[in-house]
Structure 1
Amino acid sequence: MSSKTGSFSGRQQATSTSEKLPFLATLTIFVLMVPLNFDVGPINLSTSRVLFLIFVPLLTINLLRGKYGKINIVDLFVLFHVFWLTLSIFINNPDVAVTFAGSNACAILGGYLVARASIRTSAQFQTLCKFLCFAALCTLPFAVIETLTNKSLLRDLINAIPGLNESSRATSEQRLGGLYRAQLLFAHPIHYGFFCSLIFSLGFVALRDHVSRGARSFYAFSIGLCCFFSLSSGAVLAMAIQALLMMWQSATRRLKNQWNTLLTGSVVFYIVAEIASDRPAIIAILSRLAFNSSTVSIRQRLFEYGTEQIGKTPVFGVGYNDWGLPPWMSGSIDNFWLLQALVYGIPSLIALAGATIIPMLLIGRRDFAKDSSLQHARLGWIFTMISMCLTLATVAVWGEMHSFVMFILGSGVFMLAVEADQADTKQVEAGPRSAIRYTRFDQQPGPSRRRQGNPNTREGRSIRRPL
């Protein structure tokens, strides 16, 4: 009787996968997508900064008290990263240190903490993925209009509200035969495209067995259009990386060490490209992928100047001070990782790199049931994280987009310590039916005539659907 009861409760848990997204996570995504800027005296604030200023102290206390589970290595890396970049500004620019700690540091930490506190189960993660897909789809009509006409309907609406700072487009550049770059309410077109690209795998991979294949394909196609309308090679690159990872996973699902093989092959390919090219391999690759190849040479020069400056100020960085660029260069570094080491020092970069790479390795080694909800969530999240890490070497993010990057990081940390019963819910649901059958007629004792499949034999394995 106890085993039958446990089996029933397991199936009941598996079918009850719909769970509401916590209000704080929903509100955070909204204010990151619709930033409203205003002045309070000499201080410029936004809705996202106000939100984080209110909740970050409480979320930090709850994290330290263990209300979101035990503090893990990712939490420590993130906390150290925020501490070090704040310390760097106190040393390099003490006149703005308090403002920085109260706004920028809170915004960076806030994105991570909101996700860490809100996404605690597989069901919540699935709901988050659905909500992000819905949010991206809502932007598509506005992106089409902006790409074709250079008119931002949402931006014009926000600018008409009294008391809010006027928001302007970062660029009116035309590419690909006269198309404008869709930006919506983000700080730059690359931020809009990058935002959408980070939802690509979450919609197509993480929602498998929760959303039909047709709906997931529609999500992927629509999100791909959003990325394209940003006319940003960085956003398209992020989406392409995820698509390649999906194809590799599907084509090599029977290969024992499929990911070690991919990693080894990628390293060998990069080494060969480095040897064969007359410039750094990453620059050679980007020059062939960029919509505007002239920007690649500028990035190369900035990389050279940046690494030289890091060698001079390796510990605390240069802060917001001038670092000796030629007058004709703008100083905008399209390399998020390089920027961390340049401005805040190498320790800050190491902490952030550890916070992004280590959870991927640890979660990737967890023994989740094949084709379970957690297995799909893990694949979708790791594909997103890999593309994010690689693409951040070609773009710079700040403000709301920086917070969203940290939010995506924090949304998958729950998989480090998720309980085993969550990992097995899909397997329980697909298991053999109970031997008890209900009928109006008397049932003769004896073995059931229904053959029970053994999942460990060839005959008992269910046919897996392709990704």
Structure 2
Amino acid sequence: MLGIAYIRNSSDHKKYFKLLSFMFLIISVPAIIEFTTGYKIIHDFFEKLTGNKQLAENLYTSDYVRLGFTRATAVFSHPILYAISAVTIIPIVIAINRNDKQKFSASLVSLLGFIVAIITAMTSAAISALVLQQGLKKWYRITNKSIKDAITFIGIVAMLVIQFGSNRGLIKFIAMSVTLDPRTAYYRILQWEFASDDIANNIFFGVGYNGFTHPDWFAESIDSYWLLNILQYGIFSEVALIYFFIKLLKKTFIPCETKESKELLIAYRVVIISILFSGLTVDYFDRMQPILYFILGSSSWLLSDLKREQNANKNIIK
């Protein structure tokens, strides 16, 4: 709703996304400090100020140290939320920069805060989402149908080979391969397996805020937006949420004539798909959730303008 309420036109759109770029650039400073020293400067400051614990205890352990560096949280409650928030904004900022024909140096500065987030959070979920976004952008710019058909065929064959040739199957193979830490990847797979019985037994309305069935040694948390939603609220909530995303995704395929509008539509399209994809291994909670829905709402002005243009063209033809 905030994105819809505050972003009414192209000028507002640029202004607010430049503000997001600036904010991420500002918090990249404490993120780098945290990454190199382990000192969570922002969280520790507010913990002393308020007396309230800002982060979970395990974020201060060696579990969140990789290659000798501490995974940065900046102002977020988890490194993965910091990185995924950045990745979700990047395609739109790139589209705005292209439409404004900014110099490379200016474009790099506008993206610097997001790049720092991805590097310092050290999470494969963000890297995977970024690779997916770039692949989708290339795909949507391919105009030759034969090339698209060939890529699709090769992709399907590769997935079938992995599914039937690997002893882990396609899902586990991808989860264990495309990750910086196979242990956490397998942990997420177990979450799906342990929660499946509770989902089946409470398929319509979910378990609410009750816990799910799991061994004593297994943590209570769920690291998937889609899994947690169907577990807590049931199938009706899951279908409604997926319908919302698919409906919004469909709107990004509306025909448009200007290059600027096409760039933004492709950007929003790849953002929505990457949100759907990342939600399999990331729970969009805390500060990430309002950022996510603000970004989705920020497309409203563009989709409304294009719809009006489309209706006007139809009236002219009639």
Instruction: Place the TM-score, normalised by the shorter chain, in its bin.
Output: 0.7 to 0.9
User: Displacement, 1:227?
Assistant: 0.8
Give the TM-score normalised by the residue count of structure 2. Answer: 0.86
User: Displacement, 1:400?
Assistant: 2.2
Q: Secondary structure at the match of 2:59?
A: coil
Q: Secondary structure at the match of 1:339?
A: helix
Partner of 1:20: none
Find out whether 1:242 has 2:133 as its counterpart. yes
Q: Contact 1:374 / 1:422 at 8 angstroms: preserved in 2?
A: no
Which of 256, 259, 278 aligns to 2:167? It is: 278
Which of 309, 318, 335 aligns to 2:224? It is: 335
Partner of 2:124: 233
Q: Contact 2:89 / 2:295 at 8 angstroms: preserved in 1?
A: no
Q: Secondary structure at the match of 1:171?
A: helix
Q: Contact 1:129 / 1:207 at 8 angstroms: preserved in 2?
A: no
Partner of 1:171: 59
Give the TM-score normalised by the residue count of structure 1. Answer: 0.60
Find out whether 1:135 has 2:135 as its counterpart. no
Task: Give the structure with higher Rg (CA).
Answer: 1
Judging changes above 3 Å, is the alpha-carbon distance between structure 1 residues 265 and 336 closer, same or farther for their aligned structure 2 residues? farther
How far apart in 2 are the matches of 1:337 and 1:152? 30
Q: Contact 1:359 / 1:413 at 8 angstroms: preserved in 2?
A: no
How far apart in 2 are the matches of 1:188 and 1:116? 27
Judging changes above 3 Å, is the alpha-carbon distance between structure 1 residues 185 and 383 closer, same or farther for their aligned structure 2 residues? same
Judging changes above 3 Å, is the alpha-carbon distance between structure 1 residues 242 and 300 closer, same or farther for their aligned structure 2 residues? same
Which structure shows the bigger proportion of residues in helix conformation? 2
Of all paired residues, the percent bearing the same amino acid is 25
Find out whether 1:126 has 2:17 as its counterpart. no
Partner of 2:190: 301
User: Displacement, 1:344?
Assistant: 0.5
Judging changes above 3 Å, is the alpha-carbon distance between structure 1 residues 362 and 349 closer, same or farther for their aligned structure 2 residues? same
Moved more, 379-388 or 263-272: 263-272
Q: Contact 1:336 / 1:394 at 8 angstroms: preserved in 2?
A: yes
Summarize the alignment of residues 41-56 of structure 1 with structure 2, pairs less than 5 Å apart: none
How far apart in 2 are the matches of 1:210 and 1:221? 18
Which of 323, 328, 350 aligns to 2:212? It is: 323
How far apart in 2 are the matches of 1:181 and 1:309? 33
How far apart in 1 are the matches of 2:303 and 2:207? 35
Q: Contact 2:224 / 2:279 at 8 angstroms: preserved in 1?
A: yes
- Segments of structure 1 that go 5 or more residues without pairing to the other structure are 1-112, 424-467
Partner of 2:316: none
User: Displacement, 1:151?
Assistant: 0.8
User: Displacement, 1:160?
Assistant: 3.5
User: Displacement, 1:261?
Assistant: 7.8
Summarize the alignment of residues 11-410 of structure 1 with structure 2, pairs less than 5 Å apart: 113-161=1-49, 163=50, 165-168=52-55, 171-172=59-60, 173-214=63-104, 215-220=106-111, 222-250=113-141, 252=142, 254-255=143-144, 269-364=158-253, 366-371=254-259, 373-410=260-297
Q: Secondary structure at the match of 2:30?
A: helix
Q: Contact 1:143 / 1:184 at 8 angstroms: preserved in 2?
A: yes
- Segments of structure 2 that go 5 or more residues without pairing to the other structure are 311-318
User: Displacement, 1:287?
Assistant: 1.0
How far apart in 2 are the matches of 1:420 and 1:334? 37
Summarize the alignment of residues 412-431 of structure 1 with structure 2, pairs less than 5 Å apart: 412-419=299-306
Q: Contact 2:251 / 2:303 at 8 angstroms: preserved in 1?
A: yes
